[in-house]
């Protein structure tokens, strides 16, 4: 059930559903989320059930941009280090999630039972309107919306309302999920995640905000899970950190330009033996069209590539290809978020 953004009644419908303990599909600037009242355990359980997500995998809780975002922090966070406050001031609202110590007795289910919680203040105007309405219009207060990406667990994240409808449209009450259409997501990949529970900022997931930007904003060196000896086991502290994630049904192969061209040449030399269709998503060259090939050009700009990535993977899946061969992206800070998503997508075999 896609709710038009132009209809004033759409906002109130989402507010009513969330206050009643239901689920909604909501737009953000990163990807669409499957939202529920973060403080209501039965509502959060419905998220895990709809996605097929393990209940010990924590969810990101979205909070409103009120009082500089600090009021949402104060409700859910037991302690906020000074460097984390600096990141809030610099990047909220925006595509940055902070893992902070959780207030005891608050949002335990959304946190996957852990003593920490991931918080984000989204920049999308409709997400902000929804979060503010849940705090301000006189009804029962909803302090935050737990909202992982609105897709089946481990699969490609949705960047349009239609993507959510095709994958989780029957997840709502009476088999109809309300999805508030906010247009295509501006960024197209999930938020950068920084763990703020270890005395120093630790990058758990790259995104649109770079490591250099984080270091400049908080005045500290940004560690990685590897350098800071952070263990990302079966119950990760943050979402999107499993080795295999963001995967289409088709097998993703990640190859550098030379290897990709060699693989295409080898395939063309045995074209009479090829039964399965192959998609090619190349950036620095245009492959020659051949039988059983579906070709797409990756943008040369990192931000444009991020914006298009999940939509392209979904489109190629719909073409029914068996494999998607993707040209590896540059090993630079600007491309870190795209590289991370492609590496995890290709890990699903």
- The per-residue pLDDT for range 195-223, each reduced to its tens digit, is 999 999 999 999 999 999 999 999 999 99
- Distance CA(179)–CA(177), nearest Å, equals 6
pLDDT band with cut points at 50, 70 and 90 for residue 235: very low
- Between CA 294 and CA 301, with CA 295 as vertex, the angle to 5 degrees is 150
Instruction: Specify the DSSP class assigned to residue 319.
Output: T
* 251-346 CATH choice from 3.30.360.10, 3.40.50.11030, 3.40.640.10, 3.30.70.20: 3.40.50.11030
CB 16 within 8 A of CB 115: no
What pTM did the predictor assign? 0.91
Top-level CATH class of 2-224?
alpha beta
Q: What is the pLDDT of residues 108-166, one digit of tens each?
A: 999 999 999 999 999 999 999 999 999 886 788 899 999 999 999 888 999 999 999 99
Q: Where are the domain boundaries for CATH 3.40.50.11030 in the chain?
A: 251-346
Preceding peptide of 339 cis, ω within 30°: no
Q: Where in the chain is the domain with CATH 3.90.870.10?
A: 2-224
Region 163-170 average pLDDT: 91
Pull the structure tokens for residue 48.
């895990």
Indicate whether 232 pLDDT > 50: no
CB 207 within 8 A of CB 191: yes
């Amino acid at each position: 059930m896609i709710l038009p953004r132009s209809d004033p009644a759409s906002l109130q419908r989402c507010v009513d559903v969330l206050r009643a303990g239901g689920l909604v599909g909501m737009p953000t600037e990163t990807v669409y989320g499957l939202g529920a009242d973060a403080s209501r355990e039965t509502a959060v359980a419905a998220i895990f059930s709809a996605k097929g997500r393990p209940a010990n995998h924590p969810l990101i809780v979205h909070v409103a941009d009120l009082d500089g975002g600090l009021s949402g922090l104060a409700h859910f966070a037991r302690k906020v280090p000074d460097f984390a406050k600096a990141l809030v001031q610099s990047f909220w609202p925006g595509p940055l999630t902070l893992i902070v110590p959780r207030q005891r007795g608050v949002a335990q289910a959304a946190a996957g039972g852990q003593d920490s919680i991931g918080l984000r203040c989204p920049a999308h105007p409709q997400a902000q309107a929804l979060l503010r309405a849940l705090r301000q219009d006189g009804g029962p207060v909803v302090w935050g919306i737990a909202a992982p990406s609105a897709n089946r667990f481990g699969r490609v994240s949705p960047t349009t309302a239609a993507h959510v409808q095709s994958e989780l449209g029957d997840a709502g009450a009476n088999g109809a999920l309300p999805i508030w259409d906010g247009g295509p997501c501006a960024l197209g990949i999930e938020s950068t995640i920084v763990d703020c529970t270890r005395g120093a900022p630790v990058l758990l997931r790259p995104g649109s905000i770079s490591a250099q930007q984080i270091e400049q904003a908080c005045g500290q060196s940004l560690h990685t899970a590897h350098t800071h000896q952070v263990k990302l086991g079966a119950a990760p502290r943050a979402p999107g950190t499993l080795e295999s994630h963001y995967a289409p049904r088709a097998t993703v192969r990640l190859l550098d330009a030379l290897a990709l061209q060699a693989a295409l040449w080898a395939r063309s030399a045995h074209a009479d033996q090829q039964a399965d269709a192959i998609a090619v998503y190349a950036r620095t060259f245009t492959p020659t069209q051949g039988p059983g090939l579906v070709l797409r050009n990756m943008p040369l700009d990192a931000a444009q590539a991020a914006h298009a990535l999940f939509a392209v993977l979904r489109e190629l899946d719909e073409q029914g290809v068996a494999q998607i061969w993707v040209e590896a992206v540059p090993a630079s800070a600007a491309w870190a978020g795209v590289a991370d998503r492609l590496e995890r997508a290709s890990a699903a075999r």
